Every structure is written in C-alpha cells, then in structure tokens.
Structure 1
Amino acid sequence: MRTRTERRERLVPHTVDGETLLVTEEYALEVPVPPRDWDHIVLTGALAVVAIGLGIVIVWSTSSIGDLLVRTDVLKPIAYAAATGFSLGWMVCMALEWLARYDPARIKRPRTAGHVFLAADMAAVCVHGWIADSLKVGIIGAVLSAGAKGLYTLVLDHQAAPLDARTQQWVAIKRGEVGSRLALGAVRRQLTRVESRAAAEEAALRTAPDPDPDPADPSEGSPDATVLTLPPIAVTTKDAVRIAWDSGLRDPEAVRKYVSEAQGRAAPPDTVNRYLRDLKAGA
C-alpha cells in the first residue's frame, strides 16, 4: 500500500516557570494513498472528448449556416449570430437532458426537442453544401453534428443510474412537495403585493377630512375657544376586520356591519370575507 507524508499540527502542553500552556507542535503522519479511480478518469476523458466535439460542431455549423445566410444579403454579424441558434438550440436541450437524467418522464421532452433542433441544424448544413456545389462536404458536416449528439447520448445513458419504480415515485413526490412550497411562496408574494395595492387604492379613494376645518363653537366652560375638533383616525378594512375579530365577532354579517360603521361607508362583503378567511386560517 502506498503512503504519503503529511505535515499536521497538534496542541501539546508546555511548561515554563511552573505555568503550563497549550502550544502547537508540527508532526509527520504517514497516510495511505487511495488507488486511482480509473472509472472516474475514463468518464472524465469521455466528457472531455464530447465537449471538444461539441465545440468543433458549433464552429463548423455556425460557419456553414452563417455563410448560407450571408448569401441572402444579410449583414454578416446578424447572419452568424442567427446561425448560432441552430446549434445552441439542441445543445440547450442536451443540458436539460442532463438535469433530468434521473427522471425518464421529464427527459422525453428535451430529448425530442433536441432531435428536432439537430435535424434543422443538419438540414441547414446540407443546404449550404448543396448551394456551394459541395454537397458531400455538407453531408459530412451534418454527420459531425449527429455524431456529437450520439456520443453525448451514450455518455448520458451511462451516467444516469436507473431508479426502481418505488424510488422513482418517492423522488416525484418529494419534487412535487418542494415545487409546491416554491409555488406557494410566489403566490403569497403576489397576493401581498396585490393586497398592498388594494389597500393603497382604498386609502386614496377614501373621503379625506376637510384640510381647513372651521373652528368649533366656543362653549362657556371652554378654557380656549380656538381649540379645534380633530377628525377621527380612519382605519383600513383589514384593520377594522382584525379589531372585530379580536373583539370576538365571528359572524360575517356582524363583522361587515362593524367595519361599515368604523369606516363610515358600506364595506365590500367579498373583501371582509377574504380577511376573515385569512384570520381563520392563521388562528
């Protein structure tokens, strides 16, 4: 068994003048060297070959299709930028295949879409070879794209360990639970924004008090005849419903009547009922 020497540190007691403290001390340790993981090395090499092949295919396809589009009097930057879409389309689908490699149901759509994009890419390369009076070269370029896609599919099938039926169902259930949590979080944020806008609109449409009220009639016992009567503080529908709830009211009609009296106007029944449902859910 092969070993290697590693330098490590440890705390040791050291005494000076009768006082002992912990200090660090370096020491050498022989640790075993694990054997080479040839499976991982071979897989890494295969992925490197696939990546290099995909790079060559992108350059070849972009060059061929870009030259084909330039023949239609399109500006070169625009033509070559559009040409990359043919290759990038099926390569994005390949990335989605990799992410869904443990789910046979989810991998079908990106794989089918990838085949469609690949067919379009190969057809465009062949058309360019035909127009350039070199159909054989166009067919070879199309075969290169198909070969890169085939190599990737083989590596993906080798890497994706199949799951048994029960484990697959367990994964689907857990994915659904997490997805539901994410969806509910987004819905709650959306409802909060809508509710805030609704409250702002209600506050804006609410009748505001007179900015310059007339002074109150002085009374005989009033110490200061210039004191003004302050208008009551307006409450929102949500606050009024919560006050009624905290006061023990549970009947929707009674709560709506209380909210109408608190705001000085008829409260919308739907809004009152929605706030009551929220309070019941949080109780």
Structure 2
Amino acid sequence: MKTRTVQRTRLVPHTINGKTEMVLDRYTVDLPVPPRDWDRTVLNAVTATASVLVAAAVVWSTASIGDLLSRVTIAPAAYAAAVAFDLAWILCMAVEWLSRYDPARAELPRKMGHGALVVAMLAVGAHGWLADQVTIGIIGAAVSGIVKTLWTVVLRHHAKPLDDKTQQWVDKQRAEAGGELAMVAINRELTRARGQVDAERHALEMTSPEAPEASPEAPEDEAEVPEGAPQLPSSGPMTIADAVRMAVSCGVTAPDAVLRYVRKVADANAKASSVERTLREVRRTA
C-alpha cells in the first residue's frame, strides 16, 4: 500500500531552569494514499474536453454569424452581436448546472438553452446558404448542436436528482433562507423610513412655536377664580369662543387666566390678542 509523509505539529511541555512552557513540536506521519478515482478522472477529462469544444463552437459561430451580420452593419458591431448567439445557450447551461439538484428549476433554462441553440444554428446555416456553401453551413450549424448535446450529457451525469421527500425538505430550507434574506432588505428599508419620519417630526417640532404650559391648578389661576365659583371643566376639545364663554360663566375673567384655559382645552397655540378680542365680545353680549 502506498503512503505519503505528512508533517504535523503538536504542543509539548518544555522546561528550562524549572520553568515549563508549551512549545510546538513538529513530527511526521505516514498516511495511506487512497487509490486513484478513475471515474472522477474520466469525468474531469470529459468536462475539460467539453469546455474546449464549447470555445471552438463559439469561435466558429461568431466568425460565421459575424460575417453574415457584417453585410448590413460595420464589422465590430456585427461580431459583437454574433457572440450573443452562442453566449445565450452557454449561459442557460450554466444556470442549468446551478440547478442540478432541482429538476423543476432546471427545466426553464434547459428549454431556453435549446431555443437559443436553434436560433444560433439557423444563423450559421443562413450564412452558408447566402455564401453558396449550403453543405458547409449545415456542418457548421451541426458543430454547435453537437457541443450542446455533449454538454447535456455531461450535465445529466453531474446532476444528482433527489427523491420527493428530500426535494420538499430542500425547498422548505431554501424558502426559509430566502425569507431571512428578504427580511434583511425589508428591515433596512423600514429602518430608513423610521429615520425619515423621526427627522421630519424633529424638524416640525423645531419650527413650531412652543405653547406655554397650561396648569389650571397654578396659584395664579386660583387668585383669579372667585371664592365659591365652580371649577373650570378640563375636558376638551372645544373652540376658542366656547372656551372663553365657559371661563366667563365660571367667573374667570382675567385675560391671562382665560388665555391659559383656552390653550389647555381649545388651542395650544391660541394667540393672546384673539383670546382678548373674544373675551371683550363675550363681555359685551353677557
């Protein structure tokens, strides 16, 4: 049995002058070498060969389709557009590879890849037909078809289909992870929205005039209320005129006391001039 030497390290105690420290000790071990996995080697070789054939097919298709399109446009634009014909089905194969554990998700890129391949083959065939080389056009179109077929075989070998219950479990795990990922973006959006609301509220508070605190039980209010007069109702809301009438009916006639009461039950930003004008009108009609 073949072996290979591997160097490893471990901590060992080392004492000098009665003081012990843990130091690294390097040593080697012989590990058995597993037999070569020829299946994996062959699969890697097939995959590498298929990749080379894809590159060759792209070069051939790009040259043919680019020459076809250059009949009606400039060459750089024609060859740039020609690359898209093969890249379309190659990208679909890449997505199919990523979905090799989920046949349902791999079905759409597989169909799209076949459709893109047919379009590319028709374009190569049209180039040969217009150049009076129908046979070469057919053979050139078959190149892309052969490469796509080879890659389909390779992808099917790499694919690992799951049984129904395992597939359902994988789908639930994927959905849960997707929900958590979506909540990251949603929470970030909500945080930004709350920050904007707080900023708008702060700006509104900075621009709004501060209303004086209304305290019906303050000592100055008690001095203005005649002894034995009924207490002013503290419930609201009501209009400024109603608040002034209520204060006058309860015996509170001092402008400052009426203003405090109006700001408490009617309008916290009521102006003193408006309250005094309303108070004079109420006194005249009383």
Interval containing the TM-score (normalised by the shorter chain): 0.5 to 0.7
User: 1:197 deviation in Å?
Assistant: 3.8
Do structure 1's residue 157 and structure 2's residue 129 form an aligned pair?
A: no
- How many aligned positions are there? 213
- DSSP 3-state at the match of 1:105: helix
Letter in 1 for 2:58: I
Deviation at 1:188, TM superposition (A): 2.4
Query: Match of 2:57?
Result: 57
The alpha-carbon distance between structure 1 residues 8 and 168, as it changes in their structure 2 partners (threshold 3 A), is closer
Once residues 97 and 28 of structure 2 are traced to their aligned partners in structure 1, the CA distance between those partners, rounded to angstroms, is: 44
The one-letter code matched in structure 1 to 2:177 is: V
Is 1:43 the equivalent of 2:57? no
> CA offsets per residue over residues 150-187 of structure 1, 9 Å max, x none?
11111111111221111011111111111111122222
Within 5 Å, give how 1:214-233 maps onto structure 2. Answer: none
Taking the TM superposition and a 5 Å limit, the aligned residue runs for 1:1-283 are 1-12=1-12, 23-72=23-72, 74-201=73-200, 208-209=207-208
For the residues of structure 2 that align with 1:192 and 1:204, how far apart are their CA atoms?
18
Q: CA deviation at 1:13?
A: 5.0
Structure of greater Rg: 2
Q: Distance in 1 between matches of 2:106 and 2:116?
A: 16
Question: Any stretches of 5+ residues in structure 2 without a counterpart?
Answer: 210-264, 270-286
Q: Report SS of the residue matched to 1:6.
A: strand
CA distance in 1, matches of 2:19, 2:40: 54
1-side partners of 2:202 and 2:20: how far apart?
72
- The alpha-carbon deviation at position 24 of structure 1 amounts to 4.7
Query: Deviations 1:23-45 (Å, cap 9, x if unpaired)?
Result: 55544432211111111111100
SS in 2 for 1:98: helix
Deviation at residue 135 of structure 1 after TM alignment: 1.3
Distance 1:86 1:111 in 2: 16
Q: SS where residue 207 of structure 2 aligns? A: coil
Q: Are the structure 2 counterparts of residues 13 and 194 from structure 1 closer, same or farther at C-alpha, using a change threshold of 3 Å? A: closer
Tell me the CA shift for residue 98 of structure 1. 0.3
Unaligned runs of 5+ in 1: 211-260, 266-283
Q: Summarize the Cα distance change of 1:25–1:181 in structure 2 as closer, same or farther, 3 Å threshold.
A: closer
CA distance in 1, matches of 2:134, 2:197: 65
User: Following the alignment from structure 1 to structure 2, what is the Cα–Cα distance between the partners of residues 2 and 27?
Assistant: 20
AA of the residue aligned to 2:106: I
Seen in structure 2, the aligned counterparts of structure 1 residues 200 and 127 have a Cα distance that, compared at 3 Å, is farther
Question: Identity over aligned residues, as a percent?
Answer: 50
What are the Cα deviations for residues 19-71 of structure 1, in whole angstroms up to 9, with x where unaligned? Answer: 55555554443221111111111110010011001000111111111111101
Q: In the aligned structure 1, how far is the partner of 2:19 from the partner of 2:188? A: 62
Paired AA for residue 145 in structure 1: S
Secondary structure, aligned partner of 2:35: coil
Compared CA separation, residues 175 and 11, structure 1 to 2 (3 A): closer
Distance 1:208-1:28 versus aligned 2 partners, 3 A rule: closer
For the aligned residues, what is the CA RMSD? 2.6
After superposition, give the CA deviation of every residue in 1:111-154 in whole Å (9 maximum; x if it has no partner). 11111110110000000111111111111111110111111111
AA matched with 1:89:
A
Partner of 1:227: none
Write the deviation string for residues 212-245 of structure 1: whole angstroms up to 9, x where unpaired. Answer: xxxxxxxxxxxxxxxxxxxxxxxxxxxxxxxxxx
- Matches of 1:200 and 1:12 in 2, distance apart? 61
Cα offset, 1:5, TM superposition: 2.9
